[in-house]
Amino acid sequence: MQFQDKIQNGVRYLLDGGHTDLARWLLEKMLGDFPDLAEAHFELAQLAHADGDDAYAERHFRQATELARHDAKIQKGLGDFLYVVHQQPQAALEQYKTALALQPDNIETLLTMAHLHVSLHHFDDAADYYRKVLAQDPGHAEARQILDKLTTRKTSPCPDDCSSDQCYAAAGQLLGNGRHEEAMDALNQTLAIDPGHAMAHNDLGVLCFEKGDMENANKHYERAAELAPDNITIQKNLGDFYYFQRGDVQSALKKYVQVLTHAPEDTEVLINTGHICMALNQVDDARVFFQRVLEIEPWHQDADALLQQLDPPAAVTQTSSEPSVDLYAAAVEKSGLGDAPGAIGDLALLVSQDPSHALAFNDLGVLHYEQGNKDEALRCYEQAARLQPENTIFLKNLADFYFVEQGRVEDALKAYIRILEMDREDVDCLMAAGTICLAVNQPADARTFFERVLQIEPWHTQAGEQLHQLDGGGLPSAAPEACGRMAP
């Protein structure tokens, strides 16, 4: 027995005893002296994969296959690694074909090939491989069961004479019913009729991604983006794939910028773009994107937290001998006595000393609004909501201002929905949301909000009147009555 054979026997002894760390150490030492031992590379690759060191594992799997081109087990091992770890079905298929060329009757490899073709929707190829399994083992229950399903399945989910749009619509219905495999068939048939159908490519990209077929997901996403450069959803999907799946920040950034030229208020894309700028150490650019998110949604917690990372708040310094609690109490007292200018002065001094005092900003916004200083009111409302995004009073004041004063119905509705996520029985917010739905001609949604109000407060007159109006009663709708609430 040669020396290296003795070492490999020792390695197997260690593995049988569960001493994997020692076995790995011994294999590395052995390959230092005998670098051309394919079996040692193969075993080391398996151990590295078990330890989660997949980059190291792949290197040794590939070295093993180069050194043992005629070893079917080693060739199949690389195929398993490519399929399971890297989720590269096409590359795995080629590797399995190499293994089968060396050992064409290996049932395990034949069965793996069959399953892989099913996952790729190559059903005819899959059936051929299941038949090869059954030729070797006629009693193989799994191969028989799947082959029967393949031979009895419909050849197509769409009629032969349907158009690409009809076929795509059928795919949508199948997806809605949770029949993803058949939906993929319909999408593939859509592309067989019209290879330039961008949405079919996009949806196939999504389904391939869900199945773990990243190669085909990438292919379909890129083709969809090429065919529909102005489609925001398609470009966004490709940008997300580049960023989150491939880690290709430069390509992702290009796609996100392309999306923002068409949808400059897409907060999700703005956040992702800001993240990328941070990763590229472009701090000033990142700050611009996060600030833009807060301009659109002042209550956006992630954007606020990210800005805090970029610009940690300076320590608060007390420039007045009067504590902040006394300043706030003085402002409340002056407001109660009708001295709005005096209250505004105290609150302005307070927020200059303590820029994190959300309550002061809110009350300052209310007082400015009452005095007709609407620009200042908006600035204060937004800052209060930014500092305390969970405070429903602050959010209501901001939402009411957006709706009543500025007509920003979408922004107002976002804020109201945000409040309802925290308090589903907020009657004021339900009424406001229903009124907005009327304003944007969504009577069914408005009805849902008003009916919910009556479930909570059956005596609510205004909700009853709004429902009467929806039923043809002709009563006028009403906007929120106020744009300012002092916090208790």
How confident is the model over 298-329, as pLDDT tens digits? Answer: 878 778 877 887 776 554 444 444 455 677 88
Which pLDDT value is given to residue 8? 59
Which pLDDT value is given to residue 66? 92
Q: Are 60 and 41 in contact (CB under 8 A)?
A: yes
Greater pLDDT, 349 or 9: 349
Which pLDDT value is given to residue 392? 83
Which pLDDT value is given to residue 312? 64
pLDDT tens digits along 272-282:
888 888 777 78
User: Six-digit token pair at 247?
Assistant: 């880690």
- C-alpha to C-alpha distance for 359 and 485, rounded to whole angstroms: 11
pLDDT tens digits along 217-239:
999 999 999 999 989 999 999 99
Q: Are 428 and 480 in contact (CB under 8 A)?
A: yes
Q: Are 474 and 355 in contact (CB under 8 A)?
A: no
User: Six-digit token pair at 464?
Assistant: 């009853």
Integer CA distances (angstroms), 419 to 321, 357, 423, in order: 38, 21, 6
The region, left, alpha or beta by phi > 0 then psi within -120 to 50, assigned to residue 247 is: left
Q: Which residues of 104-129 are buried (b: 16+ CB within 10 A; e: fewer)?
A: eebeebbbbbbbbbbebbbbebbbeb
Residue 262 has pLDDT above 80, yes or no: yes
Greater pLDDT, 154 or 287: 287
Which pLDDT value is given to residue 101? 92
Q: Are 340 and 377 in contact (CB under 8 A)?
A: no
Residue 283 has pLDDT above 90, yes or no: no
Mean pLDDT (the chain, rounded)? 83
Least confident of 57-61, 245-249, 419-423: 245-249
User: Six-digit token pair at 71?
Assistant: 């070893």
Q: Are 151 and 144 in contact (CB under 8 A)?
A: no
- CA torsion angle for 226, 230, 231, 232 (degrees, to 10)? 110
User: Six-digit token pair at 132?
Assistant: 């090869």
Q: Are 315 and 353 in contact (CB under 8 A)?
A: no
- Amino acid found at 282: Q
- C-alpha to C-alpha distance for 3 and 205, rounded to whole angstroms: 52
Which pLDDT value is given to residue 343? 84
Which pLDDT value is given to residue 29? 80
- C-alpha to C-alpha distance for 96 and 256, rounded to whole angstroms: 38
Greater pLDDT, 37 or 15: 37
Least confident of 25-29, 32-36, 194-198, 462-466: 25-29
Nearest to 463 by CA among 431, 436, 437, 432: 431
Least confident of 26-35, 107-116, 419-428, 462-471: 26-35
Residue 481 has pLDDT above 60, yes or no: no
Residue 132 has pLDDT above 90, yes or no: yes
Domains of the chain: 3-152 (1.25.40.10), 164-310 (1.25.40.10), 320-389 (1.25.40.10), 391-488 (1.25.40.10)
